[in-house]
């Protein structure tokens, strides 16, 4: 079994799909590797590509605020994305790109063994939970798969465009907090 640092090394040289051609950095993911709680977004944007870190732009700032509202910081969670390289022009990742990249995420999950995975946005929910998920309707519930509780919520970039949806997101974050507390008390 790889260590996370070894997997990061391998991933940093990845050319399994065409996204490697336009990238500045692979955005592998970061955070606490002993955590129970993992957040998975869609793919790096331009700030993330430039800095090689997930969620460092405006959406990332909002994510930090939402975490703070439930008394969490990034140092307590692990954050990564479905695809590790920026799709050009911030388009959605293509199915073939997702398929090529997923083994890295599967390894990350296998190594970190989170008890809760929060999927951020529609693509992440569809890939991780169920292709038929409609994020605005099906968010904010627990979907149990094996030993992991998946909680789909809205993407922070969506919340920046639709501030009135922040109240829904707050409900989801309260559920995340409650579920984490239950797990920690076991
Ligand atoms: N949006 C994502 O889905 N992931 C990031 O890392 C940044 C923005």
What is the CATH classification number for the domain harbouring 91? 3.40.470.10
Structure tokens at 63: 């994510």
Cβ 135 under 6 angstroms from ligand 1: no
N- to C-terminal Cα separation, the chain:
28
> Which of 47, 55, 56, 124 best tests ligand 1's pocket when mutated (most atoms within 8 Å of CB)?
55
Predicted confidence band of residue 62 (pLDDT cuts 50, 70, 90): very high
How far apart (Å, rounded) are the C-alpha atoms in residues 142 and 83?
A: 23
Residues 131-140 have a mean pLDDT of 98
How far apart (Å, rounded) are the C-alpha atoms in residues 173 and 161?
A: 19
**How many whole angstroms from 68 Cα to the centroid of ligand 1?**
18
Cβ 29 under 6 angstroms from ligand 1: no
Q: Does residue 4 lie in a domain region?
A: no
Supply the pLDDT for residue 176: 98
As for how many domains the chain has, the answer is: 1
Burial of 25 per CB tally in 10 Å (0-12, 13-18, 19+): middle
Q: Does residue 13 lie in a domain region?
A: no
Strands 78-81 and 116-120: unpaired
How far apart (Å, rounded) are the C-alpha atoms in residues 89 and 22?
A: 10
Residues 137-155 have a mean pLDDT of 98
Cβ 87 under 6 angstroms from ligand 1: no
**How many whole angstroms from 55 Cα to the centroid of ligand 1?**
5
Q: Does residue 16 lie in a domain region?
A: no
pTM of the predicted model as reported, rounded to 2 decimal places: 0.98
Supply the pLDDT for residue 185: 94
Residue 2 pLDDT exceeds 90? no
- DSSP letter for 146, please: T
User: Phi, psi (5° rounding) for residue 26?
Assistant: -75, 135
**How many whole angstroms from 146 Cα to the centroid of ligand 1?**
26
Q: Does residue 2 lie in a domain region?
A: no
Q: Does residue 179 lie in a domain region?
A: yes
Q: Does residue 40 lie in a domain region?
A: yes
Supply the pLDDT for residue 125: 98
Question: What's the domain range around 139?
Answer: 22-184
Percent of the chain's residues with pLDDT above 70: 100
Supply the pLDDT for residue 1: 81
Q: Does residue 12 lie in a domain region?
A: no
Residue 56 pLDDT exceeds 90? yes
């Amino acid at each position: 079994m790889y260590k996370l640092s070894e997997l990061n090394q391998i991933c940093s040289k990845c050319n399994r799909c065409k996204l490697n051609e336009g990238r500045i950095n692979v955005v592998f993911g970061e955070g606490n590797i002993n955590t129970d709680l993992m957040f998975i977004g869609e793919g790096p944007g331009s700030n993330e590509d430039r800095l090689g870190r997930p969620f460092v732009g405006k959406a990332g700032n909002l994510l930090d605020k939402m975490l703070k509202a439930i008394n969490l910081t990034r140092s307590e969670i692990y954050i990564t994305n479905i695809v590790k390289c920026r799709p050009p022009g911030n388009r959605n990742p293509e199915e073939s790109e997702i398929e090529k990249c997923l083994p890295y995420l599967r390894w990350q999950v296998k190594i970190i063994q989170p008890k809760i995975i929060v999927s951020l946005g529609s693509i992440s929910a569809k890939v991780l939970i169920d292709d038929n998920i409609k994020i605005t309707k099906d968010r904010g519930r627990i979907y149990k798969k094996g030993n992991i509780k998946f909680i789909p919520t809205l993407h922070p970039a969506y919340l920046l465009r639709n501030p009135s949806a922040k109240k829904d997101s707050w409900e989801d974050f309260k559920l995340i907090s409650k579920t984490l507390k239950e797990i920690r008390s076991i």
